[in-house]
């Protein structure tokens, strides 16, 4: 190694190294050296041997660091090393660890717990510390004192501190002061500080940071101790709770509200299993074995798998979730439904009573349940109307498009095709043959459009599905007759109210028939008088009500005297005070 007296001129004349780095020593300060790299960069450093170990410490670059300043700094570093007996590089690393900021500690904490910390929890840590202590993120942890923590906890409680997004863009009440938010912020800060307190140590294993400042909240009893919600569904209320869920589900199915039906099933499953919302909505069909009557959760909150049996109630729920009228909260690759053979007619009776089709069973746990995509009721209505030459509303098409969002599936392709046809003008439809005077030819051409996507067999099965047609178009069944007839024993056990017990039923149309002169009108007037007065007739109980008598004869003019005995009845009722 070449040595000489360092001067600015000589250092500037030093040539770049041919390979690696070349060192030159100073004759004024023993141990001061300059290293020249291949690129021509020059850096001052000290090189010493202490306790049998050789070490080198960089001081700075030339010419930013002058020769005089480099000599002074070299003497200072070597003097400090002689007094402490420590490597200056170790001292530098220790100082950097002790000066770690809250942001760096938070990032290291989340990274170290990457396998155990869920993304939602990590996001909550970042948001809670950023919203209420955003001004602390760039400060060293050692600067966060007990007094500052106590004051910030009080400010969060009263809502006087906020470093997050503009409150006007957030939901109402955010950042307005909360005991729960103050404690949540303190717990997040405590978790990060405790981790940093143990993680950052010197070369001898000693901690570099002071004790967590959040201890002041425990010492002074500043924790608010927010009480958890204790409302419960008691045993005697469970029946009403489940009945209410069933009522909402039935109403949702009638209105074809798949979202409400899904929520009802999820609430019912949570009631009987105790699973979390994320575990229910994250359940995959690959984790469900209907044949073996059990299912499992791969990863719970504590990281362990959980296996649960499928009871009769859960079995009915899983079968219902696989039905095409509802949207399942059980995820699987692609769309799902029952097989075409089972989608044409639903088994009668309770869902618990009918067996699972072989196509629904899971014999291999590694294979997810693969079933065919069904036609929703909205798409079924559009197909039925189009196939019969009837107009389809835009709202039905849009509803079908929302239920079949993937345009690569067969139902998605069918929705796109029907919307294209709906956008055609009247002249274009006539030119294409979709409208015309020959009804049979128009229907055949219209059905061929659907058959190209669904197939002729499935299209015919849909058009012949009487049960689904009656459910989707209920009004068509009601317009057949104004007086629907009943047969057999229908209504034999129905409760019937009477105006006159065992003679005149309430809310009914009755008639009195008989030969002329058999006192039909006399009987009708007598019944009307007893009903108006509310008194029994021939020992038959009578419910009082209003009556109106109207005689209709062939002649336009009619006199009350033409009704036999009417004058005598009226006179008798007047005499008795009625």
217 or 481, greater pLDDT: 217
**pLDDT over 90 (residue 149):** yes
- Same domain for 341 and 386, yes or no, is no
Residue 146 pLDDT class (50, 70, 90 cuts) = very high
Give the residue from 51, 85, 119 where a domain finishes. 85
b/e per residue 375-410 (b: at least 16 CB within 10 A): bbbbbbbbbbbbbebeebeeebbebbbebbeeeeeb
Residue 310 pLDDT class (50, 70, 90 cuts) = very high
- Same domain for 381 and 429, yes or no, is yes
CATH number where 11 lies: 3.30.160.390
258 or 296, greater pLDDT: 296
**pLDDT over 80 (residue 126):** yes
> What is residue 229's predicted lDDT score, i.e. its pLDDT?
73
> What is residue 354's predicted lDDT score, i.e. its pLDDT?
34
- Same domain for 281 and 350, yes or no, is yes
- Same domain for 300 and 344, yes or no, is yes
The arithmetic mean of pLDDT across residues 267-295, rounded, is: 88
> What is residue 89's predicted lDDT score, i.e. its pLDDT?
67
- Same domain for 466 and 545, yes or no, is no
Task: Give Cα 446 to chain centroid, integer Å.
Answer: 39
Among 361, 281, 384, 269, smallest CA distance to 327 is for: 281
- Check residue 188 and report its DSSP letter: H
Residue 207 pLDDT class (50, 70, 90 cuts) = confident
Give the residue from 187, 219, 251 where a domain finishes. 219
Among 184, 186, 121, 132, smallest CA distance to 160 is for: 132
Q: Which range is most confident: 198-207, 323-332, 538-547, 558-567?
A: 538-547
- Same domain for 352 and 391, yes or no, is no
Quote the CA–CA distance of 179 and 223 in Å, as a whole number: 9
The arithmetic mean of pLDDT across residues 318-337, rounded, is: 52
Q: Is residue 95 part of a domain?
A: no
Q: Is residue 367 part of a domain?
A: no
- Whole-Å CA distances, 270 to 236, 267, 320, 362, 388: 18, 5, 16, 23, 44
- Same domain for 284 and 335, yes or no, is yes
- Same domain for 388 and 356, yes or no, is no
- Same domain for 395 and 460, yes or no, is yes
Q: Is residue 567 part of a domain?
A: yes
CATH number where 162 lies: 1.10.150
Residue 493 pLDDT class (50, 70, 90 cuts) = low
**pLDDT over 60 (residue 154):** yes
- Same domain for 275 and 347, yes or no, is yes
Q: Is residue 493 part of a domain?
A: no
pLDDT digits (tens, 9 = 90+) for 48-105: 776 667 777 888 889 899 989 988 888 888 877 776 666 666 666 766 777 889 999 9
304 or 49, greater pLDDT: 304
- Whole-Å CA distances, 377 to 289, 347, 394, 536: 28, 18, 15, 55
Q: Is residue 485 part of a domain?
A: no
Number of structural domains the chain divides into: 5
Among 337, 311, 339, 342, smallest CA distance to 322 is for: 337
Write the secondary structure of 550-575 as one string of H (helix), E (strand) and C (coil): CCCCCCCCCCHHHCCCHHHHHHHHHH
When the pLDDT of each residue in the chain is averaged and rounded to a whole number, the result is: 79
- Same domain for 9 and 61, yes or no, is yes
CA angle 298-301-303, nearest 5°? 55
455 or 227, greater pLDDT: 455
β pairing state of 2-4 and 22-26: parallel
Residue 455 pLDDT class (50, 70, 90 cuts) = confident
User: 196 is in which domain, residue-wise?
Assistant: 102-219
> What is residue 311's predicted lDDT score, i.e. its pLDDT?
92
In the chain, what percentage of residues exceed pLDDT 90? 17
- Same domain for 515 and 447, yes or no, is no
Q: Is residue 233 part of a domain?
A: no
259 or 563, greater pLDDT: 259
Quote the CA–CA distance of 291 and 273 in Å, as a whole number: 19
**pLDDT over 90 (residue 132):** yes
**pLDDT over 70 (residue 285):** yes
Give one DSSP letter per residue of 206-261, joined into a string: -B-S-S-TTHHHHHTT----PPPP-----HHHHHHHHHHHHHHHHHHHHTT-HHHH
Q: Is residue 96 part of a domain?
A: no
**pLDDT over 60 (residue 440):** yes
471 phi and psi, to 5 degrees?
Answer: -75, -40
Q: Is residue 93 part of a domain?
A: no
> With left for phi above 0 and alpha for psi between -120 and 50, is residue 534 left, alpha or beta?
left
pLDDT digits (tens, 9 = 90+) for 224-250: 887 777 777 888 888 888 889 989 988
């Amino acid at each position: 190694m070449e040595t000489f007296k360092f001067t600015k001129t000589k250092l500037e004349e030093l040539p770049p190294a041919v390979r690696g780095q070349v060192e030159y020593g100073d004759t004024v300060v023993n141990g001061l050296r300059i290293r020249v790299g291949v690129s021509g960069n020059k850096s001052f450093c000290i090189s010493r041997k202490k306790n049998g170990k050789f070490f080198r410490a960089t001081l700075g670059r030339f010419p930013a660091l002058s020769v005089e300043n480099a000599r002074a700094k070299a003497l200072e570093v070597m003097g400090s090393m002689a007094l402490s007996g420590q490597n200056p590089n170790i001292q530098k690393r220790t100082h950097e660890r002790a000066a770690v900021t809250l942001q760096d500690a938070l990032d290291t904490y989340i990274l170290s717990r990457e396998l155990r910390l869920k993304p939602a929890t990590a996001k909550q840590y970042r948001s809670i510390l950023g919203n209420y202590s955003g001004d602390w993120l760039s400060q060293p942890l050692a600067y966060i004192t007990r007094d500052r923590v106590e004051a910030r906890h009080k400010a969060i409680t009263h809502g006087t501190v906020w470093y997050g997004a503009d409150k006007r863009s957030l939901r109402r009440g955010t950042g307005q002061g909360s005991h729960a938010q103050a404690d949540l912020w303190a717990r997040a800060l405590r978790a990060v500080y405790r981790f940093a307190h143990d993680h950052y140590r010197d070369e001898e294993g000693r901690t570099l940071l002071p004790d967590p400042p959040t201890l002041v909240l425990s010492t002074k009893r500043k924790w608010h101790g927010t009480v958890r919600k204790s409302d419960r569904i008691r045993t005697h209320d469970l029946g009403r709770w489940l009945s209410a869920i069933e009522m909402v589900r039935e109403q949702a199915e009638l209105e074809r509200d798949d979202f409400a039906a899904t929520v009802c099933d999820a609430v019912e499953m949570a009631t009987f299993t105790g699973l979390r919302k994320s575990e229910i909505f994250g359940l995959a069909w690959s984790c469900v074995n209907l044949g073996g009557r059990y299912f499992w959760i791969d990863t719970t909150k504590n990281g362990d798998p959980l296996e649960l049996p499928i009871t009769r109630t859960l079995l009915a729920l899983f079968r219902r979730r696989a039905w095409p009228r509802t949207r399942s909260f059980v995820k699987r690759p692609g769309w799902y439904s029952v097989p075409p053979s089972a989608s044409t007619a639903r088994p009668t009776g309770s869902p618990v009573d009918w067996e699972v089709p072989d196509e629904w069973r899971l014999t291999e746990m590694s294979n997810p349940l693969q079933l065919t995509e069904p036609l929703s009721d909205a798409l079924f209505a559009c197909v039925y109307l189009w196939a019969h030459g009837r107009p389809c509303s835009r709202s039905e098409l849009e509803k079908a498009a929302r239920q079949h969002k993937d345009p690569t599936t067969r139902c998605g392709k069918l929705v796109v095709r029907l919307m294209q046809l709906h956008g055609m003008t009247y002249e274009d439809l006539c030119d294409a043959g979709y409208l015309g005077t020959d009804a049979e030819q128009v229907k055949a051409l219209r059905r061929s459009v659907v058959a190209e996507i669904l197939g002729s067999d499935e299209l015919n099965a849909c058009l012949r599905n009487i049960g689904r047609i009656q459910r989707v178009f209920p009004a068509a069944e009601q317009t057949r007759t104004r007086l629907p007839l009943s047969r057999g024993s229908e209504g034999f056990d129905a409760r019937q109210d009477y105006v006159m017990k065992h003679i005149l039923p309430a809310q009914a149309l009755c008639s009195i028939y008989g030969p002329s002169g058999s006192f039909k009108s006399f009987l009708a007037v007598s019944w009307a008088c007893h009903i108006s007065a509310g008194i029994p007739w021939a020992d038959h109980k009578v419910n009082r009500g209003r009556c109106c008598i109207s005689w209709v004869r062939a002649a336009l003019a009619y006199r009350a005297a033409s009704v036999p005995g009417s004058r005598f009845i009226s006179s008798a009722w007047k005499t008795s005070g009625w």
